[in-house]
Amino acid sequence: MVLAELAARAGVRLSPGKGARARAISGEGRLAGRRVVLTQPTTYMNESGGPVRGLLDYHHLPATDLVVLHDELDLPFEVVRLKRGGGEGGHNGLRSISRSTGTRDYLRVRIGIGRPPGRQDPADFVLKDFSATERKTLDLLVAEAADAAELLLERGLEAAQNVVHPRS
């Protein structure tokens, strides 16, 4: 949803690729004054590393230029955080990307979805639809995450973190 919002803001139409780009929809444009390649793998999330690697290679981009938008169980719903590198925290999509790129040193826009209630399996939790309460503020969360991604591109990590992350 955040990628779709960024594509709309940039006027980018996402379309299926060919060859090294075959397992993703993507489009090129400008966002926050920078050339971007917006991409969404069409594989299962836990196999997203292959398409990401293919697109990095196709566009001759280093993995350090990669910005991954992802859901984050370890953040409460509606919280957005930015970081570079770190562990995957059990996120199979991040694990696949790290394995395929050979590094964990890529930028991340972490979009909080909270922990599953009770003993619900996290895999089931991330696949279920948002609750009625969550849907009321989902548009705001998507916009905030897209804003954070644009700020990251425009100002760099540290400056964007100073804006996005609340002061303690």
Instruction: Please report, for the domain that includes residue 150, its CATH number.
Output: 3.40.50.1470
Q: What whole-number distance in Å separates Cα of residue 162 and Cα of residue 158?
A: 6
Residue 146's pLDDT band (cuts 50, 70, 90): very high
Collect all residues with Cβ–Cβ distance below 8 Å to 77 and sequence separation of at least 6.
112, 113, 114, 134, 141
Side chain identity at residue 108, one-letter code: R
- Looking at residue 150, its pLDDT comes to 97
Tens digit of each residue's pLDDT (9 = 90 or more) over 40-96: 999 888 899 999 999 999 999 999 999 999 999 989 999 999 999 988 877 889 999
Closest C-alpha to 92, from 138, 55, 41, 139: 41
Nearest CA to 106 out of 89, 93, 94 is that of 94
Counted domains in the chain: 1
Residue 81: domain span: 2-164
- pTM value? 0.91
User: Which residue did the predictor score with more confidence, 26 or 121?
Assistant: 26
Predicted confidence band at 168 (pLDDT cuts at 50, 70, 90)?
low
